[in-house]
Amino acid sequence: MFSSVQSFKSIFLKKLESTYGKSFEETTKQDQYQVLGQMVREYISEYWILTNEKYRFTKAKTVYYLSIEFLLGRLLGNNLLNLGITDVVKKGLKELNINLDEIEEAESDAGLGNGGLGRLAACFLDSLASLELPGHGCGIRYKHGLFEQKFVDGFQVELPEQWLRQGNVWEVRKPDLAVEIPFWGRVQTYHDGERLCFQHLEAETIMAVPYDMPIVGYRNKTVNALRLWSAEPSPLPYHKDVMQYKKETEAVSEILYPDDTHDEGKILRLKQQYFLVAASVRSIIRSYRKKNNNIRDLHEKVSIHINDTHPVLAIPELMRILLDEERLGWEEAWEITTKTISYTNHTTMSEALEKWPIRIFKPLLPRIYMIVEEINERFCRELWKKYEGDWKRIEEMAIIAHDQVKMAHLAIVGSHSVNGVAYLHTEILKHREMNLFYQYEPEKFNNKTNGITHRRWLIKANPELTKLIKEGIGDKWIRQPEQLTELMRLKDDEQFLIRLKDIKQKNKEKLALRILQQTGTKVDLASIFDVQVKRLHAYKRQLLNVLHILYLFNRMKEDRNFKPYPRTFIFGAKASPGYYYAKKIIKLINTVADLVNNDKEVCDYIKVVFLENYRVSLAEEIFPAADVSEQISTASKEASGTGNMKFMMNGAVTLGTMDGANVEIFERIGSENIYIFGLRAEEVMNYYQNGGYHSREYYHYDRRIREVVDGLVNGIVSDSYGHFEPIYDSLLMQNDQYFVLKDFSSYAEAQERIGMDFSNVLEWSKKSLINIANSGYFSSDRTIGEYAKDIWKISTPQNVLQ
Ligand code: 26W
């Protein structure tokens, strides 16, 4: 089918016409996408079957990555790349006068995630398959992914996302593998001889139907699966009101919660979590049972990873199966469970730590609640042995306390490995946030610094740069990204540096076109493209960025001789619909954009662009075009960041705080190739503990700050729609929790250095090259290699069937 341009072309044409019953000329880009997608999926299925046979035959240990989010983005281009058939397809289409890029644009993003955590899961799947590791994802097939964002008068408006409107060519529905998940009802105990048994009665069941999506490895014939569960009514509902029952069931996989970090505590969310976990664990056990007969060896063949605490009910669910269905004893079941499960923490922000009130938990999941209670009791008893009399410690560590179930505590207690996502983050977990648990079981804790797949974020997103790198150092780095360090040989090669700069320039031109199309703003191609794209959060400090823009504006207005190096400030960010403050910041950025872009004296030097609906496919256009990467979170708050790595790999230079993985980027490239500013994590944490920060002093003593902050309320950036008092108040009345004013001057100073350094074309290009050369470490292949070896104990199976 893809063996030659000719055969591809003829099959494509025939299929196109037979599928749609119209002549080739009449088909739309969407028709063409659908048919090409189907062809690719068919091609994949052959390898999919072989991969599964290999796994079955070798009985290889398998990891299941449970995640409430998978932010995949588009799949066509990525699958073509990994299958190694991009060129054949591109050439064939070209002969038909079709541009592959346009077909790719007909695909909607699979946006089943909020941000970092969900995208990390997607990168991990790509790496697992590319490293030929037996590892599958388990998630929810939300009918609506993360909302579509529009700006109306500068305000964010959310529209329901509709990724399944045209169907999904990549998925395979497997109704024969559906499983029933019970909710509500009551638990009855009875005796079977000596044994106390439990029965869940009068439950309301929901059917979980799996849809499998192929995850294609990079040119290695490996195809793993992402199994997404869809909620449907059970065939025999005992309900009288069938319509009502249908609606309530389908609600479970209707929508992705658009909230990151704020735990809303809604029943539906807990339902989603148990739905994911119960369906996944049942299907994991079923597949284990097909190949193995002793359930006691489960942990030798299966590893279950929980991505943050959202799937933590996998722990009591596995216990339930081992106890109630397999009839093992508690100790035995517990040992198997903890040896099977491992857990990653993605945030230390207390608002994000999940806690469920017993009043919600217990009636919804009666049997699971009993098990959690017993886990808690046994755990507290163990603690008592070690810390007899230390009530306070035991209370603080308990899984159930003050009428709440603490999901992070359950995750730590019920797994054999707990990891953070960057060196600094893990240290903070060990020595602050989870210190009591670290004291109790230090050997559980470990770090796995995040990574990104260089296949999507470099090879796919930046083909020109990929070509240049190949010319410079060959292509070993494609399978071994750490080999990118070979580029260091070229750091003084002027010709190479010029070509690198030219590619950046081309990518900037492409992005400028997109900006013009979407916003009507014309940007200066010679300006610095200074980019901040990520979820909108107070701690990520988009505010610091925009206040600095206002400062540049003020200064230009008051001093006609002040001419900053021209800059285009580019933003992309969604705010959680209920996050009032974040939405204010969006309005502020849009208001500042209006002010700056329409000011005759300023707009030749500064432009502000806020791109709507930031998502994976847009990100792929943005990273390759960035000169400066804004990673300016309050130190200690950003667990890792992964955007920072995508920018770096595409040759942008970081302007950042010593936070998350920025610290590790800094360590690899040295201070000349990154712009570091602001408080360190230690200092921030000391201020939180001991006080001593008074934001008003910075307001009073720094005229730049005063003018900018006053501008929020005195009419400069306020308009008929709204003033920015809440932001003003957060800075002055609530003592600026995120140290925006404290870090302002060192940020402004770093920006000034950037302005000066950028004009030295060769020097800047060298920084860019050094960033690229050292980005291989941040490939998710390295990260997944570490998880596989240290946590999951899985390896590439022997290829038995040639
Ligand atoms: C309770 C709702 C909720 C939803 C999502 C709480 C917390 C989350 C996530 C933990 C938020 C998240 O995406 N965290 C990000 O994870 C990335 C991948 O590890 C890190 O790079 C980011 O620093 C971290 O903010």
> Which tokens is 246 given?
């249908």
> Which tokens is 330 given?
């508690």
- 262 has a pLDDT exceeding 90: no
Among the atoms of ligand 1, which is closest to the Cα of residue 641? Answer: 21
Is any atom of ligand 1 closer than 6 Å to the C-beta of 354?
A: yes
Question: 3-class secondary structure for 275-286?
Answer: HHHHHHHHHHHH
Please give the average per-residue pLDDT across 369-380, as a whole number.
98
Q: Say which of 642, 654, 657, 783 is annotated catalytic.
A: 642
The pLDDT mean for the chain works out to 96
Residue 310 is a catalytic residue: no
Rounded Cα–Cα distance for residues 201 and 185 (Å):
6
pLDDT score for 719? 61
- 722 has a pLDDT exceeding 80: no
Among the atoms of ligand 1, which is closest to the Cα of residue 639? Answer: 23
Is any atom of ligand 1 closer than 6 Å to the C-beta of 348?
A: no
Among the atoms of ligand 1, which is closest to the Cα of residue 114? Answer: 13
pLDDT score for 352? 82
Q: Report pLDDT digits (tens) over 580-612.
A: 999 999 999 999 999 999 999 999 999 999 999
Residue 672, SS3?
helix
Q: Which residue type occupies 665?
A: I
When pLDDT is cut at 50, 70 and 90, the band that residue 293 belongs to is confident
Whether 422 and 350 have beta carbons less than 8 Å apart is answered as: no
Distances, alpha carbon 504 to alpha carbons 207, 314, 511, in Å? 50, 46, 11
pLDDT score for 775? 98
Residue 782 is a catalytic residue: no
When pLDDT is cut at 50, 70 and 90, the band that residue 264 belongs to is confident
pLDDT score for 649? 99
- 75 has a pLDDT exceeding 90: yes
Distance 345 CA to ligand 1 centre (A): 8
Distance 61 CA to ligand 1 centre (A): 28
Is any atom of ligand 1 closer than 6 Å to the C-beta of 450?
A: yes
Backbone angles phi, psi at 259, to 5 degrees: -105, 120
All CATH 3.40.50.2000 domain ranges in the chain, comma separated: 59-74+109-448, 454-684+741-778
Backbone angles phi, psi at 194, to 5 degrees: -80, -20
Residue 246 is a catalytic residue: no
> Which tokens is 286 given?
């079923």
Q: What percent of the chain is predicted at pLDDT more than 70?
A: 98
When pLDDT is cut at 50, 70 and 90, the band that residue 353 belongs to is confident
Which residues neighbour 690 within 8 Å (Cβ) at sequence distance 6 or greater?
none
* DSSP 8-class letter at 252: G
Residue 540 is a catalytic residue: yes
Is any atom of ligand 1 closer than 6 Å to the C-beta of 258?
A: no
Largest CA-CA distance found in the chain, in angstroms, rounded: 92
- 228 has a pLDDT exceeding 70: yes
Q: What percent of the chain is predicted at pLDDT more than 90?
A: 95
Provide the angle, in degrees to the nearest 10, between the axes of the packed helices 703-711 and 740-758.
110
Q: Say which of 346, 355, 430, 456 is annotated catalytic.
A: 346
pLDDT score for 714? 87
Rounded Cα–Cα distance for residues 300 and 497 (Å):
50
Residue 646 is a catalytic residue: yes
- 801 has a pLDDT exceeding 60: no
Q: Report pLDDT digits (tens) over 617-636.
A: 999 999 999 999 999 999 99
Which residues neighbour 279 within 8 Å (Cβ) at sequence distance 6 or greater?
138, 179, 181, 208, 210, 229
Q: Report pLDDT digits (tens) over 566-580.
A: 999 999 999 999 999
- 162 has a pLDDT exceeding 60: yes
Residue 599, SS3?
coil
Give me the residue label for tokens 């704020």.
Answer: 262
pLDDT score for 348? 85
Q: Report pLDDT digits (tens) over 480-526.
A: 999 999 999 999 999 999 999 999 999 999 999 999 999 999 999 99
Question: 3-class secondary structure for 57-108?
Answer: HHCCCEEEEECCCEEEECCHHHHHHHHCCHHHHHHHHHHCCCCHHHHHHCCC
- 797 has a pLDDT exceeding 60: yes
What is the number of other CB atoms lying within 10 angstroms of the CB of residue 114? 22
- 679 has a pLDDT exceeding 70: yes
pLDDT score for 6? 96
Please give the average per-residue pLDDT across 192-204, as a whole number.
95
Nearest to 83 by CA among 170, 6, 164: 170
Task: Fold for 59-74+109-448, please state it.
Answer: Rossmann fold (3.40.50)
Which residues neighbour 651 within 8 Å (Cβ) at sequence distance 6 or greater?
465, 500, 504, 768, 769, 771, 772
Is any atom of ligand 1 closer than 6 Å to the C-beta of 92?
A: no
Distances, alpha carbon 217 to alpha carbons 220, 223, 453, in Å? 6, 6, 11
pLDDT score for 239? 65
Distance 633 CA to ligand 1 centre (A): 14
Please give the average per-residue pLDDT across 375-379, as a whole number.
98
When pLDDT is cut at 50, 70 and 90, the band that residue 71 belongs to is very high
Q: Say which of 144, 540, 607, 766 is annotated catalytic.
A: 540
Whether 603 and 618 have beta carbons less than 8 Å apart is answered as: no
Distance 200 CA to ligand 1 centre (A): 34
pLDDT score for 621? 98
> Which tokens is 671 given?
């201070």
Q: Does domain 454-684+741-778 have CATH number 3.40.50.2000?
A: yes
- 337 has a pLDDT exceeding 90: yes
pLDDT score for 798? 84
Question: 3-class secondary structure for 453-498?
Answer: CHHHHHHHCCHHHHHHHHHHHCCHHHHCHHHHHHHHHHCCCHHHHH
Distance 117 CA to ligand 1 centre (A): 5
Nearest protein Cα to ligand 1, atom 13: 117
pLDDT score for 720? 53
> Which tokens is 36 given?
């090409």
DSSP string, 727-749: HHHHHHTS--TT-HHHHHHHHHH
Rounded Cα–Cα distance for residues 676 and 632 (Å):
9
Provide the angle, in degrees to the nearest 10, between the axes of the packed helices 740-758 and 761-773.
120
Backbone angles phi, psi at 555, to 5 degrees: -65, -40
Residue 587 is a catalytic residue: no
Q: Report pLDDT digits (tens) over 298-309.
A: 999 999 999 999
Rounded Cα–Cα distance for residues 332 and 382 (Å):
16
Q: Where in 576-705 does DSSP place strands (E)? A: 606-611, 628-631, 653-656, 675-676
Distance 509 CA to ligand 1 centre (A): 33
